[in-house]
Structure 1
């Protein structure tokens, strides 16, 4: 794996008015990593994603994308983003899968749309209406929309919220394939500890501060779980 850092987060702190949300967060995301970002509700995960995407400016510290400070970064086609399903539109109006994926590219780049749909194994659904798809299939469409610009970094915020278990398993299999076959660097925010441990190559735990940044095998220790989620949390490994 190329150890070049794609994302560099250095001493980042952020507050909403007087409420401190993030304090002195520092870690890198290396090229080719599949990084899982985990923490309880209100831990600052979504805020950190917004800072990485340049949507919020930290009061302290810096974020770099591909070696450039995020405020100076202009090559946003290199970064794909899949937001939480809860924040997405309810597709009750007639729009096709191809039309949704094509929102991220110019009209003349139809080949990019077709390839992105092949990458997520939905090319045969290209003319289907969005409301005809299952929740898991809709999430694949949103990933395809992000992939159509041929990004090197893909950021996903709780992508399986509201998706059934079977669709979740298939979804994470797809992410592993994208990471391994397309050499995509992934940042995945999830509450699912099992997924983080079983699927990713690196775990970052935050709860306003950085709790740990380490391989998943080392994360499976109750003291980390207690520090992040409280003393009553137990880790249970489920079959995949």
Structure 2
């Protein structure tokens, strides 16, 4: 349990609807505490990605409150505490001209992070020194997924959110 006893993630009576007014999530309440592993399973269109995007503050609930480490998401500022890998990493990063080294360095918080090569080793990248020099747009889907996981882990986050983590496995 979290040292203060508060939930790491909390949904309190959360409802989210898209344009048609049909709720994707309806009156969802849950608490996730430090040390817990939670897997959300369901059909396509069942609200799994919506739930993660709401935790990340990318979607605002129609009703209810979402908290991270005891703070409402809209007031949360310690984003280094969270590692996130979105579902569609290929479409997000396919046109970025940066190298893997530049991407991993840009996401690191001084004093908290591991070195880029350590993060790549942690996620099982073969020959991480070579991958560091490659452009993100030149990576295979599997290596891009590993690089994104390394980016999510580089700051030793307290909360790791993975959307469709086995897509390239």
Q: When the two structures are superposed, what TM-score results if normalisation uses the length of structure 2?
A: 0.80
Could you list the runs of 5+ residues in structure 1 that have no partner in the other structure? 169-240
Task: Say which of 70, 76, 94 aligns to 2:73.
Answer: 70
> In the alignment, what sits opposite 1:149?
155
| Structure in which a larger fraction of residues adopt strand | 1
1:61 to 1:131, Cα distance in 2 relative to 1, 3 A: closer
1:202-231 CA-partner distances (Å, limit 9, x unpaired): xxxxxxxxxxxxxxxxxxxxxxxxxxxxxx
Alignment of 1:114-133 (within 5 A): 114-122=117-125, 124-128=127-131, 129=134, 130=136, 133=139
1:92 to 1:7, Cα distance in 2 relative to 1, 3 A: closer
Could you list the runs of 5+ residues in structure 2 that have no partner in the other structure? none
Look up the SS of the partner of 2:61 in the other structure: coil
1:152 to 1:92, Cα distance in 2 relative to 1, 3 A: closer
Task: Say which of 94, 102, 114 aligns to 1:90.
Answer: 94
The alignment status of 1:159 with 2:162, answered yes or no, reads no
> For the Cα contact (< 8 Å) 2:8–2:32, is it kept in 1?
yes
Look up the SS of the partner of 2:93 in the other structure: coil
Task: Say which of 31, 46, 50 aligns to 1:47.
Answer: 50
> In the alignment, what sits opposite 1:38?
41
Deviation of the 1:147 alpha carbon = 1.4
Look up the SS of the partner of 2:156 in the other structure: coil
The alignment status of 1:137 with 2:164, answered yes or no, reads no
> For the Cα contact (< 8 Å) 2:53–2:59, is it kept in 1?
yes
| Structure in which a larger fraction of residues adopt helix | 1
